Amino acid sequence: MSLLPTFPPALLALADGTVFRGYAIGAEGSSTGEVVFNTAMTGYQEILTDPSYCRQIVTLTYPHIGNTGCNAEDFESRANFAAGLVIRELPVQASNWRMGQTLPEYLKEHGIVAIAGIDTRKLTRLLREKGAQAGCVMAGANLDEAAALAQARAFPGLAGMDLAKVVSADQPYAWSEGEWDLKAGYRPVEKRPFKVVAYDFGVKRNILRMLASRGCDVEVVPAQTPAKDVLARQPDGVFLSNGPGDPEPCDYAIQAIQEVLAAKVPTFGICLGHQLLALASGAKTVKMKFGHHGANHPVKDLETGQVLITSQNHGFAVDQATLPANLKATHVSLFDGSLQGVSRTDVPAFSFQGHPEASPGPHDLAYLFDRFIRLMQDKKAENA
């Protein structure tokens, strides 16, 4: 008698006709989305709850996923937004002092369709060669390969898809929780002298924590909040969050950002917020072949020459060739040379394509939050 758990069968069908078969480790059913690969070794719970992964099926390239289980603290948003999960191997036993449940238990509880036992190296090579693929992950006793292929081919892709307003909060809310502490966990920050309005295009909680820990009294507002409502709050700064989908259809956000910039309010953007800041300044964005997803991406700071290891999660990028005179490139990827950061030359605004808040990943770029604080300090001194 085997002591190993048994799992139902599962398959992953790609729009190009490729089918991978494995076993189901999550909810039964099917889910479609854009299949991408992430090279992070851990942080799967943060990845699943990152709104930037909305409508994406995430393949984790590290071979063993689930070693540390899941817990009640590592949520990056109010829900799980990833469309599905693909891994090579599920460990027989999970163990960690913070663990509350195993990865399969977590996936089933939250209705996430997931497959294990496939050749993720082969899948990753395919995605690198052909680009991100529409796919369908199907799990359960009654698999229908033809139906899975049909669902994969029916997925329209992320280009032209505005998902920021889908994942955004529908009401404003305040945020005061600071960064995680080994002894106390998460706790409120008392002294917060800077009033910051954060646009929620799919914001991660660790971004808000890093702002609060640096003295920001944060109010999060929905993605479609007009600029006049934000400016009426008289913020010291405006933050433009990360988020999923194509930035170009987000005309409501582009218009609002243009008005915020015209008011010369210090502004900081991350990920989708970076792309929207660039679009609002006159640049263009492009869909990448397979994007950047991982926690080990080297980026060069063009101002200091320093090389930094960053967390990345994006399928679109700002086209450096289209930068107008008022935008200066500040960071570039050392993997493919793509633009990673910009700064406005005429107003106090800058942005970064990757994730300086990590979660998961390195904190090499945390100094960008300090730069935002300095911009607000300078503006306050100017107005004093």
pLDDT in tens, 243-290: 999 999 999 999 999 999 999 999 999 999 999 999 999 999 999 999
High-pLDDT (> 70) share of the chain, %: 99
Q: Are the CB atoms for 380 and 297 separated by under 8 Å?
A: no
Residue 361 counted as an annotated binding residue: no
Closest by alpha carbon to 46, among 293, 217, 219? 293
**pLDDT of 124 higher than 50:** yes
- Please tell me the predicted confidence (pLDDT) of residue 191: 86
Residues serving a catalytic function are 271, 355, 357
Domains within the chain, CATH numbers bracketed: 9-154 (3.50.30.20), 164-383 (3.40.50.880)
Three-state DSSP class for residue 127: helix
- Please tell me the predicted confidence (pLDDT) of residue 309: 98
**pLDDT of 136 higher than 50:** yes
What is the CA angle 306-356-323, rounded to 5?
A: 70
Q: For 90-99, what is the mean pLDDT? A: 94
pLDDT-derived band at 186 (thresholds 50, 70, 90) equals confident
Q: For 327-341, what is the mean pLDDT? A: 98
**pLDDT of 3 higher than 70:** no
Q: For 211-222, what is the mean pLDDT? A: 98
Residue 275 counted as an annotated binding residue: yes
**pLDDT of 5 higher than 80:** no
- Please tell me the predicted confidence (pLDDT) of residue 184: 82
Residue 245 counted as an annotated binding residue: yes
pLDDT-derived band at 1 (thresholds 50, 70, 90) equals very low
- Please tell me the predicted confidence (pLDDT) of residue 180: 84
High-pLDDT (> 90) share of the chain, %: 94
Q: For 170-197, what is the mean pLDDT? A: 91
* Mean pLDDT, the chain, integer: 96
Q: For 88-105, what is the mean pLDDT? A: 96
Residue 52 counted as an annotated binding residue: yes
What is the CA angle 222-224-230, rounded to 5?
A: 70
Residue 243 counted as an annotated binding residue: yes
Q: Quick one: angle between helices 272-281 and 251-262, nearest 10?
A: 70
